A and B are shown apart, each in its own frame.
Chain A
Amino acid sequence: MTVSSITGRRQGPWLRSAMWVIGTLALVGIVVPGTLGTVASGAAVILLTAVPLLRVVWVVVRLAGERDRRFVIVGVALLSAVAFGVLISVFLRG
């Protein structure tokens, strides 16, 4: 069986960068009062939520590059489940 090329060499550095950006925004959100702090806190939360999902997208793209169709379908199904959940919650809120 072929060893997958999906390793941490590319994924690790951008995740580390994302952590520092989110951490800095969160720190600003704690320390700075007023609108700037609120905006920074909000941005930190949005990025924190987006990064795990972007990581899935990245893995799916890499799987497609390896022509691993079975797991590309699994990844797309996962992202579809997330999207479906958001749509349902928006619909129920409305």
Chain B
Amino acid sequence: MNVVLLVLAAAVTSGLGAMAGVGGAILLVPLLVVTGTPVSVAAPLGLISVAALSIAAAPTHLEFRVVNHRLGLTTEVAATAGAVVGALVSDLVPNRVLVYILALAAIGAALAGGRRKGIRNRPDPSLTTRDVGERVGVLSGAYPLGDQVVPYSVRRVRAGLGFMTVAGLIAGTAGVSGGFIKTPATSELMHVPTKVAAATTTFTIGITAASALTVFAVQGRIDTRAAAAIIVGSFAGSLAGARLQARLVPQTVRAGLSVLLVIVAVVMVVTA
């Protein structure tokens, strides 16, 4: 594998992934496979990209106070269990079947995100910047939107956990973050504002990736030189993408996410 091309591919895909809150691996892994990298090598490299994006985007998301750690931990229990199982059985799943499942899920998520118009959670004039953040003991919180503060509550937690388990399974088997399922599920199903959903997902995909990577490391499936190239490219792309994502309005992020998911689905079907 050409190191320069790996750095460039990781930079571009991570930049796009960070903006949409879905991770760059959903684009990087198909790209690597199309250019001749075996899936067994591409999957761990995809998760390296995911973990790098999660770390690089975190300081910006934390600065804007849009990460809900309690929500992240809760959904991640299901996702990590799925990721570990997925990584353990990844050699048994036929690649073509997995790709078609991924494409269908991506299109479904794009339709779910693109269907809704407007802002579900309205700003509350009685709240100030001191009210921004998550709440102790519950999954609700408030986030800043310009000069205003928007409160939100999390709904349909059990159904959300089901989607997170599926996202974890896909991450463990295919080496993609599962963020393209997590962000729409958190936003559309659990009624969390898109910015909070995207930032919290970026936090959790790092944990999912780390969990699956530990399994891959034990299995001896990580090419460390190629991984180093992916890390350098992913850090550069993620920093640029996260800066842009935090400054975009929710409708723009949602529309961009839907377009990106359709592109991903087409790429996957074509490569299959």
Contact = CB atoms under 8 A, between A and B. Distances in A.
Interface string A1-15: 111101111011101
A50 B229 CA distance: 18
B210 interface: yes
Contacts of B58: 8, 11-12, 15, 55
B215 A6 contact: no
B92 interface: no
**B140, B211, B217 pick with most chain A CB within 10 angstroms:** B211
**A4, A9, A42 pick with most chain B CB within 10 angstroms:** A4
Interface in B131-152: 131-138, 140-141
Contact of A48 (B7, B48, B211): B48
Nearest to A20: B235
A27 B232 contact: yes
Interface string B79-107: 01101100110000000000000000000
Nearest to B227: A45
Interface residues of A, number: 58
B42 interface: no
A88 B172 CA distance: 14
B166 interface: no
Contacts of A53: 207, 210-211
Interface string A55-87: 110011001001010110011011001101110
Nearest to A18: B55
Interface residues of B, number: 59
Q: Is the interface of B mostly helix, strand, loop or mixed?
A: helix
B222 interface: yes
Contact of B219 (A22, A23, A41, A89): A89
A63 to B, nearest CB: 8
Given A26-B228, A40-B228, A6 B133 contact: yes
B227 A84 contact: no
B80 A85 contact: yes
Contacts of A89: 84, 87-88, 214-215, 218-219
B231 A48 contact: yes
Contacts of B74: 71, 74
A19 B207 contact: no
12 contacts: A1-B135, A15-B59, A19-B59, A22-B235, A44-B224, A49-B51, A55-B58, A66-B136, A68-B137, A81-B77, A82-B211, A89-B87
Given A40-B228, A52-B209, 4 more contacts: A22-B55, A23-B235, A48-B51, A51-B206
